[in-house]
A = this chain, B = another copy of it.
Amino acid sequence: MGPWKRVEPTEVKKIGWRTVVTKNFLLPDNKIHEFHTINREETHSVGVIALTKDNQVITAYQYRPGPEKLMYEVPGGGVEQHDVDYQAAALRELREETGYVSDVVVHLGDIHKDAYNNGTWHYYFVADCELHEDGQDLDPHEYVDVRLITIDQLFENARSCLMTDTEAVFLAYDKLMDIRHGK
């Protein structure tokens, strides 16, 4: 069992702002097969598990067009192509989406969400957040209701299909449990 060999051609198609990249690979059967993957190659996104000074979790409550429901999301979003400092991008997304700022931040880990998605998600843990006087700075068509919830409620939401970045809760699990138990 070794890696497959990527071969040309690669075909990139866009439907609106959605990119589908058709990649070709030489498989162990010695034939070339094509796979239709989502997002342009080198797509990066960031997300934060962010806590206030009194350890409430800062969530971005918003409607999601895929699941078609309101969800308690971790703040975050897509990163611009020129933007290589993911930690800075994560803190900026936190500030823009929720109005909260902090410089107490650690990297939690990176995730590939799906076998056919080219994106990488970079997650951070941010503590001691305080509301910045400027408040939110939302993009057009972005409607975010900032909701502070308990760590228990975050776990409950993650178990109840009420957030899309559940893997961020996995990466922060031990840290959150320590805080939850006052360690």
Contact = CB atoms under 8 A, between A and B. Distances in A.
How many monomers of this protein are in the complex?
2
B63 A116 contact: no
A159 B109 contact: yes
A114 B66 contact: yes
Contacts of A160: 109
A80 to B, nearest CB: 18
Interface residues of A, number: 61
Contact of A20 (B18, B114, B120, B169): B18
Interface of A: 1-4, 6, 13, 15-18, 20, 22-23, 25, 27-29, 33-38, 61-71, 73, 109-120, 141, 143, 145, 158-161, 164, 166-167, 169-171, 173
- Nearest first, the 5 closest Cβ-Cβ pairs linking A and B are A18-B36, A170-B170, A166-B167, A35-B65, A1-B145
